[in-house]
Amino acid sequence: MSAKILVIGANGQLGSVLTKALQNKFGLDNVIASDIQEAPNFYGLFEVLDATDRNQIQDVVSKHTITQVYHLAAILSAKGEANPLATWDINMNMLFNVLEVSRINGLDKVFFPSSIAVFGEDAPWVNTPNNAFLNPATVYGMSKAAGENWGQYYFLKYGLDVRSIRYPGVIGYQSMPGGGTTDYAVDIFHKAVLEEEFSCFLEEDTTLPMIFMDDAIRATLELMEAPKENITFRTSYNLAGSSFSPKDIVKEIRVYYPDFQVKYEPDFRQEIASRWPKSINDDEAARDWGWKPEYDLKMITGTMIEKLREHYGTRSKKSIGILL
């Protein structure tokens, strides 16, 4: 039987791009996108779905004879701190609903995104290993660490094939992030191309693990394609792209926009970022399913600027560089 895929959280930063990639791979009729409201100009099959309601997930799974779920809906690290108990409730209940519906309906595979937010002060900050101690300091990080263990539990107890990646901050031109601590790293490119000053909510030398959207999508598809017996981590896989700070990005952007201005106005998100790793060791992902990132900061910067110039239709006189 061919795969019938349900994407939950299809309007999000990762979900919107992953949905297109899945449509290309499995065919338009085999991917059902869902979110709490339909995105404008969405192309394909869409269901309005509130994942905190288990019956709604069950109805969509039955209606479309779903065989795989990619559950991407979550409240992220920064937004989650505004209402910790509600964040825990929503993130955990959505996951329980997905796991239970998947178990009851005998689904083939489930994808659950985790995050570098699972790490806290007691994990090594550099080259953080897959099995480092997890003591997250945000509710989002706590919900991801707990979620990883629930995924493993459903695999061990029920044989449900749950797979997971710990994403770094994702940088892409296709969509905007919302509510995360790494969001600045997308916003900064938009401001550069629009030739506006950028106000950065992190300090200039805050190095964090990041990954380009195309790498993040490829990693997800590669993990989900890998033979079941290769998956030795049933909690989640570390995933590295490239690590850099706001200052590093600004330096690369100034190759194209020498007058680009940034002011640093750190807020509560600085404290979140300060407890996250600076770089990630992803040897297990490389070993088990052949993971290898392609994009470094130079390539990310070049691609972001090229694509955002196309998007905004700007060809600034002040900017220089290979893309003009």
Residue 182 phi, psi dihedral angles, 5° rounding: -95, 5
What is the nearest approach in angstroms of ligand AKB to the Cβ of residue 153? 22
Size of the site for ligand AKB (CB under 6 A): 11
98 vs 117, beta carbon nearer ligand AKB = 117
CB nearest ligand AKB: which residue? 180
What is the nearest approach in angstroms of ligand AKB to the Cβ of residue 176? 12
Asked if 87 is part of the footprint of ligand AKB (rule: CB under 6 A), the reply reads: no
- Which of 77, 235, 236, 303 forms a contact with ligand AKB (CB under 6 A)? 77
What is the nearest approach in angstroms of ligand AKB to the Cβ of residue 29? 31
140 noted as active-site residue: yes
Distance CA 275, CA 126 (A): 12
What is the nearest approach in angstroms of ligand AKB to the Cβ of residue 109? 22
27 vs 178, beta carbon nearer ligand AKB = 178
Q: Are 143 and 91 in contact, with CB atoms under 8 Å apart?
A: yes
What is the nearest approach in angstroms of ligand AKB to the Cβ of residue 180? 3
- Tokens for 80? 């989650």
Q: Which of residues 141-180 bind ligand AKB (CB under 6 A)?
A: 167, 169, 180
Asked if 76 is part of the footprint of ligand AKB (rule: CB under 6 A), the reply reads: yes
61 vs 170, beta carbon nearer ligand AKB = 170
Asked if 181 is part of the footprint of ligand AKB (rule: CB under 6 A), the reply reads: yes
Asked if 206 is part of the footprint of ligand AKB (rule: CB under 6 A), the reply reads: no
169 vs 172, beta carbon nearer ligand AKB = 169
Residues 6+ apart with CB under 8 A from 285: 165, 219, 223, 237, 238, 239, 291
Q: Which of residues 101-140 bind ligand AKB (CB under 6 A)?
A: 115-117, 140
Distance CA 35, CA 19 (A): 12
Task: Print the binding letters for residues 215-234 with ligand AKB: x by CB under 6 A, - otherwise.
Answer: --------------------
- Tokens for 65? 């004879």
What is the nearest approach in angstroms of ligand AKB to the Cβ of residue 208? 8
Asked if 188 is part of the footprint of ligand AKB (rule: CB under 6 A), the reply reads: no
Asked if 182 is part of the footprint of ligand AKB (rule: CB under 6 A), the reply reads: yes
Distance CA 59, CA 55 (A): 6
**Cβ atoms within 10 Å, residue 41:** 5
What is the nearest approach in angstroms of ligand AKB to the Cβ of residue 140? 6
167 vs 291, beta carbon nearer ligand AKB = 167
Q: Are 98 and 57 in contact, with CB atoms under 8 Å apart?
A: yes
233 vs 241, beta carbon nearer ligand AKB = 241
Pick the catalytic residue from 43, 70, 140, 295. 140
113 vs 250, beta carbon nearer ligand AKB = 113
Residues that bind ligand AKB (CB under 6 A): 76-77, 115-117, 140, 167, 169, 180-182
Give the active site residues. Answer: 140
